[in-house]
Chains A and B, each alone.
Chain A
Amino acid sequence: MKKIVLVIAGVALSSIALAAPSKKEVLSHYTDLAHAMYQDSLTSAKDLQEAINNLVAKPTEANLAAAKAAWKVSRVPYLQTEAYRFGNAIVDDWEGRVNAWPLDEGMIDYVSADYGDESDENPYYTANIVANKKLMIGGKEVDASKITKALLADTLHELDEIESNVATGYHAIEFLLWGQDLNGTGPGAGARPASDFDTKNCSRGNCDRRASYLTASTDLLIDDLSWMTNQWAAGGEARTTLMKGNAGEGIAAILTGMGSLSYGELAGERMKLGLMLHDPEEEHDCFSDNTHWSQYYDAKSVQNVYTGNYTRIDGSKVSGPSVSDLVAAKDTSVDKALRAKLNTTMAKMQVLVDSAEKDGVTYDQLIGEGNKAGNAKVMTAINALLAQTKDIEKAVTALNLEPIAFEGSDSLDTPKKVFE
């Protein structure tokens, strides 16, 4: 192993070009970026809250449309934070409250009869909290007469340890605004009428409870985003953990976040799976058909944390010392290659965005069985993510980060010895 490291070091020495910022400076800017993104997420979630309050006060189609639009806007900054999730335990542990997916929507509200009621495996599959003031949970009766933040977050979310029992977060709100998308891989999103929230002219019953659910889950989202914003502010736990820890490990955490989001979460679970199964249930924003943007901004998130750039919701640009600078200082060609791969990915993601926004062919249609051209567009984006992952790994090597990951792992560093 030592020999290999030496060879890499040799290559690196030959192409040193730029003066690098220190690792601490890079980490400091990384935490600043996080703070800006979560703050923007919070600001836009407050706009969403206002739109939802308007909808509940006056349930017109126009107000519903405004709330839906506000939801889509609120996703833009939030999705760009996703590269922080992997590599920062504090984010990963919290993420399930705000962005859990996929969800068994029958637990929250009415669903189409086709949804089925056979779930011995998940007894709360059709619990329908909106329609039921009393729920039986683990043999005990739970009072759900008032739908509150505490009921949703502490009692119902991930009920019985089942991950798909999602009671809170963006996707629960998305379902309450849009309703089920019953169009499969055909055109169209969920089509909930505004009268679902109209207590005077209630279309499907329990409009008061549905409205309470919507406002309580939105209030909870605000609480959760405020909390996370504070973790990245001066003195916050997320910032302190990174700044006080080993700087090399901190940089490694950034790259881990980039790699894990690229290959596993986005390319794997959120894209390739649905494509291979041609299953719209595997679509990330399945009620709103906003998936193309969610994928676009996830990819953007990886690019942001690498380059240290972020465009805030007010249009102002933030930039500073980045991992890219560190890599470039070691080996400009590795940095260039990775930047190029990140750009390629963004271009391929743009193709999916254009398909939805310009041609009206949304992601659930692109992955449909028999849609060869659509399938190919998605596969191209997946391959771009995979290609960038390999260049992320090269960046890890360029920064000589492996020995940190393998602290004290003599078993692996000296395999020859094992087999003599």
Chain B
Amino acid sequence: MNSNLNTITAIAFLLLHSVTQAPGAEITRATTDFSQPEEYELYPGGAATHARAADRRAYSHPSPNMSAERKLDFTLGKAMFKRLWVSAPTATQAADGLGPLFNARSCLRCHRHNGRGRPQDEVGKTANTLFLRLSIPPQNDEQRAELESRKVKAIPEPSYGGQLQKFAIRGLKSEGQVNIDYEEIKIKLADNESITLRKPSYTMTDLGYGPMHPDTMISPRMAPQMIGLGLLGAIKESDLSALADPEDHDGDGISGKLNRVWSREHNKVMPGRFGWKAGTVSVDEQSQSAFFDDIGISVPLFPDGAGECTESQVACRKVPNGNSPQYENLETPSQTTAWMALYARNLAVPQRRDLDAPKVLRGKKLFYESACIACHKPKFITADETIDPEHTRQLIWPYTDLLLHDMGEGLADKRPEGDASGREWRTAPLWGIGLSAVVNGNSYYLHDGRARTLLEAILWHGGEAQVSRDQVVEMTSSQRADLIQFIESL
């Protein structure tokens, strides 16, 4: 109930922010004092933090410092987000254009309560919230040059395209289904404890468009939590480049690099920030590409009405599409995608809980001293100029550096994406992660949801994170509990 009332106050903060001096590095330096919570730590998203109940709607509130006009647009974005799309043609020009190939009929279907997806549903079938990206190694000089220019991040599988769509509109074949098999791996922990991890393997069945290219690489992707995205976009590029150390010159075993990828919106190479491998530069591009790839709706940056149908999927390209002259010859025009991007950028991060509890503070110390913060960087001050006024010059606590790190063989998908190798993943933001179970009724972590608990997720860390992970293995049982307690308080 507090959120609306925050508006005026928060606007006043913004005004004050804009007249203050440039911030020093002092504020964002990691603390060494774990005797009490830090100042402002309660508000991971700065003035864009919401103070509402920690319930299943905890990821669904707007930035409280939005004006009424912008909150209205936020609700329009929300409505589009849950809208069920239908196939063309229908009487309603503005509502059709589903597919022809798709993974879901609405955004909300995968992003339930704006939270994490799950790899399987309750009867063990692969859930819609997980899909496979597809690509092949470059086959010729032309394709090598395309990758070199960074205009593409991967070479799509020739018949199926860049991802496998599990559904198709009536009269067309779907591309195929995905099966997951899990192999159990038992890990011994100090203090006579052990834990069982599950290692997934993926097979595609019922392929509708012939055999795939023999060198096809797959990468499973599960829907991530959607809070604080605008704030991640508001982190200064210079702050991110300063953290990058691709050659590990400082010799700390942590390299970290930006994924530099092509922006369709800006027509140039920019740092990638969004997606499991930081393959996309902005929330708007991420949301438009998901709209196009997952639902099959043409949008300003991806105008093809046939969605992700490839040249060889002839029938798929021939069915009527929903592109309409009065809507910029698209199925969803720029006004609508702008609402959706505004919505996605402004899903507020919840307030911390229990941050002054002794076990949380002990866990925080362990988190910092085990060097988790080498990648899960606690603090940033956002830029002076940002897409959303709500996100300007805020002290934020995302616990990520948005950089790519080698995460070892265990997590490797062996499928490069832009500058990201098959072993590299972007550091996932940890803010709000403790409410994942409350929001979604279950919680699955990492890019494919293989981890069922936060501890399992930590134990999957390898590569650059191996040393930190091994420290967790060696911790006493109560230390591990403290560490998890801290992460759950985020």
**Contact residues of A with B, CB < 8 Å?**
1, 4, 86-87, 89, 104, 114, 116-122, 138-139, 161, 163-164, 184, 249, 252-253, 255-256, 259-260, 263-265, 267-269, 272-273, 276-282, 369, 386, 389-390, 393, 396-397, 401-402, 404-406, 408-412, 415-420
Highest count of chain A CB atoms <10 Å: which of B9, B123, B381: B9
A117-B170, A121-B105 given as contacts; is B95 within 8 A of A393 (CB)? no
Chain B 43-54 interface 0/1 with A at a Cβ cutoff of 8 Å (1 = within):
100110001010
The answer, among A1, A256, A278, for a CB contact under 8 Å with B94, is A278
A273 to B95, CA, bound (A): 12
Q: Can you name 8 A-B residue pairings with CB atoms under 8 Å?
A: A4-B12, A138-B123, A252-B2, A278-B92, A390-B68, A402-B6, A408-B42, A411-B395
Q: Which residue of A lies closest to B167 (CB)?
A: A120
- For B39, what are the chain A residues with a Cβ–Cβ distance below 8 Å? 410-411, 417
Q: Which residue of A lies closest to B94 (CB)?
A: A277
The answer, among A264, A276, A396, for a CB contact under 8 Å with B5, is A396
Q: Which residue of B lies closest to A89 (CB)?
A: B53
Cross-chain contact B87 with A280 (CB below 8 angstroms): no
Q: Is B75 an interface residue (CB 8 A)?
A: yes
Cross-chain contact B104 with A121 (CB below 8 angstroms): yes
- For B17, what are the chain A residues with a Cβ–Cβ distance below 8 Å? 415, 419
A1 to B43, CA, bound (A): 17
**Contact residues of B with A, CB < 8 Å?**
1-10, 12-13, 16-17, 20-23, 27, 39-40, 42-43, 46-47, 51, 53, 68-69, 71-76, 78-80, 82, 84, 86-87, 90-95, 104-106, 108-109, 112, 121-123, 128, 166-167, 169-170, 326, 335-336, 381, 393, 395
- For A89, what are the chain B residues with a Cβ–Cβ distance below 8 Å? 1, 53
- Per CB-CB distance, the 8 closest pairs between chain A and chain B, nearest first, are A268-B75, A411-B40, A121-B105, A405-B5, A139-B123, A277-B94, A405-B2, A419-B20
A89 to B52, CA, bound (A): 11
- For A272, what are the chain B residues with a Cβ–Cβ distance below 8 Å? 72, 76
Cross-chain contact A412 with B21 (CB below 8 angstroms): no
Cross-chain contact B395 with A276 (CB below 8 angstroms): no
User: Nearest-CB distance from A394 to chain B (Å)?
Assistant: 8
The answer, among A122, A264, A396, A417, for a CB contact under 8 Å with B84, is A122
A386-B68, A419-B381 given as contacts; is B13 within 8 A of A281 (CB)? no
A419 to B24, CA, bound (A): 7
- For A412, what are the chain B residues with a Cβ–Cβ distance below 8 Å? 9-10, 13, 43, 46-47
- For B13, what are the chain A residues with a Cβ–Cβ distance below 8 Å? 1, 412, 415
Cross-chain contact B91 with A184 (CB below 8 angstroms): yes
Highest count of chain B CB atoms <10 Å: which of A1, A119, A184, A412: A412
The answer, among B1, B12, B166, for a CB contact under 8 Å with A87, is B1
User: Nearest-CB distance from A232 to chain B (Å)?
Assistant: 18
User: Nearest-CB distance from A217 to chain B (Å)?
Assistant: 22
User: Nearest-CB distance from A161 to chain B (Å)?
Assistant: 7
